[in-house]
Amino acid sequence: MTETNGDELHASHDVNGHEHADTDEEVADQQNDSNNDVQEEILPPKPKLQPIIAPDMFPPPIVICENPENYPESYRTNTKKEELILTFIENFRRQYHYIYRDRKPLFLNPLNECGLPKFVCTTVQPTLLSFSKLFQWNDAAEFVADHLNYELLEPPHELPKTLWSPEKVLYDHRGNCFDYANLLCSFLIGAGYDAFVVSGYATREVCFMDTTRLPNPYIKKREEKHIERIKPPHKKYTVKPPKDLTSKYDAYMHQRHLDKIQADKNRRQEEENKRIAEIEKPLPDPLYGIRVHAWVLVLPGKREVPEAFFIEPTTGYGKATNDVEYLGIESVWNHQNYWVNMQDCSNGCESLQFDLNDQARWEFMFTYSTSLRGAVTATLNTIGNSAILDEEEDKGTVDTTQKDIEVPPSWVRHLDLTPAEFQNRYPHSRKTYFYKKTRVEKYAPYFMKDGIVLKISEFADYDFKELIYVTQKYEHRHDKLEERGHDIRTNTVCEIYLPGRPDQLKEHTYGFGPEFERTMIYYDKARLDGLAKRHETMLELTDYFVNRDDFLEYRKALFEPRPKKFGPAEKDNQRPIISITERYGRNVELNANDDIRELVFAIKDDKFVITYHRDDIHITPSTRTYIKPVNWNDKTITIKWSDDLLLETYQADEDFKQMSKRDLYYKMLKLMEQEEEVTRRVQKAEDEIRDLQNRRQQEELSNELEYSVYDTERNKKSREYRDLLDKRDKEEKRKREIKDVDYLAPFLAAIGKPSRINAHTAQTLRTSAQHDFKERSIRKANLMQARYENEVQELITKQQWYQKHQIGMTKEDELEYQRVCQDAQFRLHILEERLDRHKKLTAEKYLQLESKLNEDPRLKEPYIIPEEKK
Amino acid sequence: MARLYDAIEPEVVSMDMLQNAVESLRADGDNQVVPKEDKLDYSAVNSLRLDFRSILRMENLWLFSNLTKLQMDNNIIERIEGLDTLQKLTWLDLSFNNITNIEGLDTLTELTDLSLYNNRITNIENMDTLKKLNVFSIGNNQVDDENSIRYLRRFDNLRTVCLRGNPFASKPDYYTFTIAHLPQIHFLDYKLIDEAPREEALKKYEIQIQQLITTEDQDREKDKKSDDKKKQHQLHKEAFVENMDQNQLFTAMFKDDSEGQKLLLVPGADELVAQIEEKFVAIVHTMFEFGLKEKETRDKEIDDFWICVNEAKDENTRRAAVIVDEFKEYRTQLFAKEDLEQQGVSSAVAAEYDDALTNLRNKLMALEIALVDQLEETIQTFERNLGEMVSNFTESMRANFGLLRELQAFFNESIINLCVAAVERYMKGELDDEFPDETRDLFADKDTILNACQTSDEIHRSKLDQREDEMFSRISNWLTTMVDNIHEDEEYNRNRKRIIEISRLIDYLRADIEDM
């Protein structure tokens, strides 16, 4: 008997040496116990001999299954093996209970959806779904958390009576913590993780899936660019720093003052933190420590997991094994074995060891699994961490240990999800979470009309009343909007776009109200003018550029404040410009002193101020200021040079070239032209901003979604195209089928396509087909032979001609002759090979034909010739 | 349309002519929007047109040091001359003149366009230095020679050539020959060359061109080798160990030593010389290696020094620039505030500004003085270190020269012994037929031979002394020059420049309030 293995194994604990006959009665007792005195932690020892109760006499069903016929066979009945296992676990439970009287009952064989007891290990159905998104543990956990609606255990300090199949859980979109853990474990084992369902105890917050005390997981990660200045190594001739003449005492006093302020600040911060912690501290829990919960344990080894950790299936978060939220573990199991925790959990899970092979700490149920685990770790040590290798190894080891009792294959059908179901993800395509001061709403893509997939609302208080910040994420939007953040307090909006907009907008920050300020960041590489950023306020407009050929870095326009007007604002009005400043980078091809750094068009003051770049050896840049001539606007007058026009010049070095008056004059004319140009550009920039506003409004209104061409479910055009392709494929296939040659067809046609033939005709058909094949082969061979001979003949003639004319030949003719000969030889060689091949193949083909004829049903009894297939 | 010069009175390139030419090139022409400047700045002129003027001689052009474009077509020039100083010239037009030879273009390395159209040139030559030549027009000349065409192969950047109107261009093969031999050109006689005819032409002249290429490659190889050699020699010279990598010094000792050479004919001298030479060369070679190594160390030291000095200077300049920028910001704010209230600057503001200026000046000066101190110290350290290196080098070399002298003494002794023995044997008449006649009287008696030995020894010694002196004087010269230059440039010139800049700045800024 297979059971003895288990018994022998546990003989050391089995003080009384039970007989097998006792098993069944114990089962009933146990069940009665768990029903009647649930809260009793120490169960009284049962008398040994009780009337025998038939195994199928279970207490009234807890599960009412309305339509058991809808479930497959394995859901409704237990196989023999399963029965055996159930008996075996009853034995185990009884012994366990006997030895550890003060331990709570184990979660071993709950009822499934058809009201049948099933062993928990067989409820785990390792599955790898065809979505790459479920391959990583965090993605899978998040999916499970998103996919299901959580149901609380009732009562919360007691193990559930039922455990539904992961299939039903997946389909129904709901489940308790055991269902969650079971489903997630199925996915994780399927993905190659060494995962286990854990049954134990946790805090009220975890059991209630109360995340309102957790920080918002969607907090934006602020990018901090930490530029480390590498201090150059001290070289031999590094100059000594100049003497430091500042008072050390002063510095010390100052530092002390600063320290004091800092300490003050720290103290206040600490107090504040304490106050917040006080507010956030949960109320005391009367059931602390006995609330039953289930979660997932992942052990290191497979899939490059470095150390053991927990996954909370209800939220999808990974947790450390010493997390204070988890208060104790009763047992863990996977699809192969069941382990009972023998360690002290009075201190939570902090000091637990997760080496399941350690028999002092973990009591296992099946032997073979121990050796298996040993084998796996051994291979891990030698071969490495590849999950695939491990799985292969698993199979091999299982085969060798077949003789032990083993967990029967899972009774659960293979889990399956359609892509549409996977994409819908949430129950009814949407789900709402609450975190500390944060509400998160998630939507399936394409579910909402405006393409929103995620909405995070941050609040100032714990009661979700005062809204501070709203972040909305979108997908598949036509205007490429990816994210919109709305700061309620400052009333500003920041929108982030994906690449691909016609105006190459990347980020757009703007506010509402009269004191408007807006910033636009562009994908500068996609823009011809290299515009990277545009910043506008009431009185300023600045364009920042990068990578321009003329080294322009930014252009900044200052506007006059607009006189306040009442009534409808005239939008088209250009604001009067005070000045425009252009800043240029260094053009290394020019002298620093000829390379303009800053060009100020002081339009209101009729001035131009030029600042040149500073040389490496100088400390001051050269500057030059022009004054516009009085009549500059009058095109009819030729402007004459006068010394007043150049207001002042400063050159850093007297050796620098002085500009002649002529050059200065032309420079000024050019500057005036340039001024017109930049004014135009500034106006254009303003127009662009207004344009953008209008366009954005229109885009917001239209809110169309985009469908990828690969998304045949949604994209109509793609679907039509795909259908067309499918249709064409089918047609092709049909045509090909027709094309398959029927070697008997011509002969059948010759005798008038009869529907039946007799043996004699069959024989004739057969011989004529064979004959025909022979004929054709010979004809083909002859043809090739003839060509070959022809070719040889030609070559010989050519050679003879050459012999004759060889003496009087030019070099070119000779070359030509050689070429011809080579060609001929090449052709001969090919012909020869083909002939050879033909000879070889003919015999083979003949044999093939013969065997085909032999097997042809038409040439056999009863000689029926089917109608030609269409 | 070359004209005979005797028909026209030749003109001279005069100051007036140049002045006119410069003025006439300006766009505004007669419309005097800008007052005429009294003095012509020749170096500011970029292009000059002196065409249709019957100029006979190209002269007085040396003033235009920045000229890039010179047009002197349609004159009666006979010789290309006077262009040596116009090194920035890129565009030269000498068409329609009476030039017979291409010459005088050697310094115009930047030249890209050269027109010699309609002259009397028979040979294309003397243009080796015009590496950047791009357009070359030599139409309507007397070129009648394949070598002239081949000459053009050396210009890698040449794209356009005009050759028509030459006797050579009327030959039937002219076109194919030219496009085959000048694969780099795209336009011949201002027409684009198509691919097809070019391939055909290349095929036709394949063998000749192949030969040409081979010779050209060989030449190039040779040039490269001699270049390398020159560089190598230069390197050795900078390490002060030139001509010491082989046995040059040893051979030099015997070169001017006629008596010594005779002495070597003594029996047994061959072996001795070979032996000594081996030792001698070994010592010289160690000296050579040591010299190169020392140079490397010195170079590294100098690099180190300059990196540090430049870093210090840059840092200092940057800080000063920040101070100046800050001040300018302050100044703008100060005056902007003032302007709003009234025209002109109030005395209070003027006083504040004046104070701030003084403060600025003090700050900048303090920075400069700090830098001067820092640099002075660093330069002194450097000087000391380098001086040590040089003396180390000298010591070691001197020791090696001592070894060489000892070797020479040993050699001399040995040769005297050999000679004495030889004389004795000669006296005995054993060696009669082994000596050539002129040597024979040397061995007539002992004194003569001893004298000869002594002379030879002296010559050898003086050679060694000479080499030693040269080496030491050169290295000490090198050191002094460099250190002096550093003192001059870094300490004195730089400081003066900076001080001037500061005072210029202060003066310029002070003008703001002084005007008021």
In DSSP notation, B192-215 reads EPPHHHHHHHHHHTHHHHHHHHHH
Residues of A in contact with B494 (CB under 8 A): 617
Q: Does A534 share its domain with A650?
A: yes
Average pLDDT, integer, range B123-128: 90
Q: What 8-state DSSP symbol labels residue B492?
A: I
pLDDT computed for residue B145 by the predictor: 84
Average pLDDT, integer, range A557-564: 77
Residue B244: how many other CB atoms lie within 10 Å: 22
Average pLDDT, integer, range B49-54: 86
Residue where one domain finishes, among candidates A367, A396, A421? A367
Distances in whole angstroms, Cα of residue A68 to Cα of each of A80, A168, A691, B2: 20, 13, 65, 118
CB contact under 8 A, A650 and B505: yes
- What is the rounded CA–CA span in Å between residue B55 and residue B70? 14
Nearest CA among B157, B217, B164 for reference residue B182 = B157
Residue A599 resides in a domain:
yes
CB contact under 8 A, A619 and B31: no
Tell me which of A476 and A218 has the higher pLDDT. Answer: A476
Cis peptide before A514 (omega within 30 of 0): no
- Give the per-residue SS3 of A530-577: CEEEEEECCCEEEEEECCCCCCEEEEEEEECCCCCCCCCCCCCCCCCE
Q: Does A697 share its domain with A745?
A: no
Angle at A184 between CA A181 and CA A373, to 5 degrees: 90
Percent of chain B with pLDDT over 90: 31
Q: Does A685 share its domain with A751?
A: no
pLDDT computed for residue B272 by the predictor: 84
pLDDT tens digits, one per residue of A40-70: 444 444 445 555 555 554 455 566 666 777 7
Residues of A in contact with B510 (CB under 8 A): none
Q: What 8-state DSSP symbol labels residue B131?
A: T
Q: Is A231 on the interface with B (CB under 8 A)?
A: no
Helix (H) or strand (E) holding B402: helix B347-428
Pairing of strands B47-49, A174-175: unpaired
- pLDDT-derived band at A327 (thresholds 50, 70, 90) equals confident
Alpha carbon A369 to its chain's center: 34
CB contact under 8 A, A661 and B307: no
Nearest CA among B49, B70, B57 for reference residue B5 = B57
Cis peptide before A45 (omega within 30 of 0): no
Number of compact structural domains in chain A: 3
HSE of A10 in the Cβ direction (CA atoms, 13 Å)?
25
Mean residue pLDDT of chain A comes to: 78
Backbone angles phi, psi at A273, to 5 degrees: -60, -45
Residue A41 resides in a domain:
no
- What is the rounded CA–CA span in Å between residue A150 and residue A178? 11
Residue range of the domain that includes A664: 477-562+573-701
Mean residue pLDDT of chain B comes to: 85
Residue A690 resides in a domain:
yes
Alpha carbon A138 to its chain's center: 11
Residue type, A443: Y
Residue A735 resides in a domain:
no
Count of all residues that appear for chain B in the document: 516
Residue A401 resides in a domain:
no
Q: Does A482 share its domain with A589?
A: yes
Burial tier of B209 (Cβ tally within 10 Å: 0-12, 13-18, 19+): middle
Alpha helices, H only, A418-496 = 419-424
Pairing of strands B91-93, B113-115: parallel
pLDDT computed for residue A31 by the predictor: 43
- The order of strands in the sheet holding B91-93 is B47-49, B69-71, B91-93, B113-115, B135-137, B160-162, B187-188, B191-192
- pLDDT-derived band at B427 (thresholds 50, 70, 90) equals confident
Across the interface, of A237, A242, A638, the residue whose CB is closest to B308 is A237
**What sign does the dihedral A394-A400-A406-A409 (CA atoms) show?**
positive
Distances in whole angstroms, Cα of residue B128 to Cα of each of B84, B124, B219: 15, 10, 14
Question: Per the structure block, which two tokens stand in for A404?
Answer: 């032990």
Residue where one domain finishes, among candidates A649, A679, A701? A701
- 8 A C-beta contact, residue A447 and residue A424: yes
- 8 A C-beta contact, residue A112 and residue A163: yes
Residue A42 resides in a domain:
no
pLDDT computed for residue B94 by the predictor: 93
Across the interface, of A237, A618, A639, the residue whose CB is closest to B304 is A237
Question: Per the structure block, which two tokens stand in for B290?
Answer: 């040591």
CB contact under 8 A, B37 and A661: yes
Residues of B in contact with A238 (CB under 8 A): 308, 311-312
CB contact under 8 A, A662 and B305: no
Q: Does A599 share its domain with A675?
A: yes
Q: Does A164 share its domain with A83?
A: yes
pLDDT computed for residue B477 by the predictor: 92
Across the interface, of A237, A614, A619, the residue whose CB is closest to B305 is A237
pLDDT computed for residue A60 by the predictor: 53
pLDDT computed for residue A395 by the predictor: 43
Q: Does A100 share its domain with A189?
A: yes
Average pLDDT, integer, range B129-147: 91
pLDDT tens digits, one per residue of A656-697: 777 777 777 778 888 888 888 999 999 898 888 888 888 888
Least confident stretch, A278-282, B103-107, B301-305, B406-410 = A278-282
Average pLDDT, integer, range A351-358: 82
Residue A145: how many other CB atoms lie within 10 Å: 21
Q: What 8-state DSSP symbol labels residue A118?
A: -
pLDDT computed for residue A42 by the predictor: 46
Residue type, A100: Y
Question: Which residues have C-beta within 8 Å of that of residue A306, sequence separation ≥ 6?
Answer: A300
Residue where one domain finishes, among candidates A327, A350, A367? A367
pLDDT computed for residue A393 by the predictor: 42
- Bridge partners of A433? A440
- 8 A C-beta contact, residue A587 and residue A595: yes
Residue A271 reports pLDDT greater than 90: yes
- What is the rounded CA–CA span in Å between residue B376 and residue B398? 32
pLDDT computed for residue A361 by the predictor: 85
pLDDT computed for residue A647 by the predictor: 67
- pTM: predicted TM-score of the whole model, two decimal places: 0.64
Q: Does A753 share its domain with A694?
A: no
Residue B224 reports pLDDT greater than 80: yes
Question: Which residues have C-beta within 8 Å of that of residue B42, sequence separation ≥ 6?
Answer: B18, B63, B64, B65
CATH of the domain at A144: 3.10.620
Residues of A in contact with B41 (CB under 8 A): 660
ipTM: 0.71
Residues of B in contact with A230 (CB under 8 A): none
pLDDT tens digits, one per residue of A576-596: 888 899 999 988 888 888 888
Tell me which of A824 and A572 has the higher pLDDT. Answer: A824
**What sign does the dihedral A8-A13-A17-A21 (CA atoms) show?**
negative
Question: Which residues have C-beta within 8 Å of that of residue B162, sequence separation ≥ 6?
Answer: B117, B136, B137, B138, B139, B188, B189, B190
Residue A703 reports pLDDT greater than 80: no
Residue A683: how many other CB atoms lie within 10 Å: 15
CB contact under 8 A, B313 and A240: no
Q: What 8-state DSSP symbol labels residue A334?
A: -
Average pLDDT, integer, range B69-76: 90
pLDDT tens digits, one per residue of A808-836: 777 888 888 888 888 888 988 998 898 89
- 8 A C-beta contact, residue A766 and residue A859: yes
Backbone angles phi, psi at B318, to 5 degrees: -60, -45
Rounded to a whole number of angstroms, the distance from the CA of B496 to the nearest CA of chain A is: 12
Residue A16 reports pLDDT greater than 50: no
Domains for chain B: give ranges and CATH numbers: 11-223 (3.80.10.10), 247-515 (no CATH)
Residue B333: how many other CB atoms lie within 10 Å: 10
Q: Is A238 on the interface with B (CB under 8 A)?
A: yes
HSE of B307 in the Cβ direction (CA atoms, 13 Å)?
13
CB contact under 8 A, B508 and A640: no
Secondary structure (3-state) at A854: helix
CB contact under 8 A, A239 and B308: yes
Q: In chain B, whose CA is at the least distance from the CA of A620?
A: B321
pLDDT computed for residue B45 by the predictor: 82
pLDDT computed for residue A639 by the predictor: 67
Q: Does A677 share its domain with A748?
A: no
Nearest CA among A100, A128, A123 for reference residue A41 = A100
pLDDT computed for residue A196 by the predictor: 92
Helix (H) or strand (E) holding A656: none
Residue A85 resides in a domain:
yes
- What is the rounded CA–CA span in Å between residue A193 and residue A128? 11
Backbone angles phi, psi at A470, to 5 degrees: -120, 125
pLDDT tens digits, one per residue of B434-481: 566 666 677 767 788 888 888 888 888 888 898 899 999 999 999 999
Q: Does A692 share its domain with A777?
A: no
Average pLDDT, integer, range B379-402: 91
Residue A348 reports pLDDT greater than 50: yes
Distances in whole angstroms, Cα of residue B333 to Cα of each of A539, B338, B349, B361: 18, 9, 12, 19
Across the interface, of A236, A638, A653, the residue whose CB is closest to B31 is A638
pLDDT computed for residue B159 by the predictor: 93
Residue A141 resides in a domain:
yes
Q: Is A578 on the interface with B (CB under 8 A)?
A: no
Residue type, A463: D
pLDDT computed for residue A54 by the predictor: 52
In DSSP notation, A128-160 reads --S-GGGSSHHHHHHHHHHH-EE---SSTTS--
Residue A714 reports pLDDT greater than 50: yes
Angle at A822 between CA A819 and CA A824, to 5 degrees: 110
Residue A32 reports pLDDT greater than 60: no
| Interface with A, mutate which of B31, B303, B308, B319 (most A CBs under 10 A) | B308
Q: Is A233 on the interface with B (CB under 8 A)?
A: no
Q: Does A667 share its domain with A750?
A: no
pLDDT tens digits, one per residue of A759-797: 788 888 888 888 888 898 899 899 989 988 998 898 888
Residues of A in contact with B324 (CB under 8 A): 619-620
CB contact under 8 A, A242 and B374: yes
Pairing of strands A467-474, B160-162: unpaired
Q: Does A513 share its domain with A641?
A: yes
Secondary structure (3-state) at B181: helix
Tell me which of A400 and A307 has the higher pLDDT. Answer: A307
Rounded to a whole number of angstroms, the distance from the CA of B368 to the nearest CA of chain A is: 11
- What is the rounded CA–CA span in Å between residue A474 and residue A458? 18
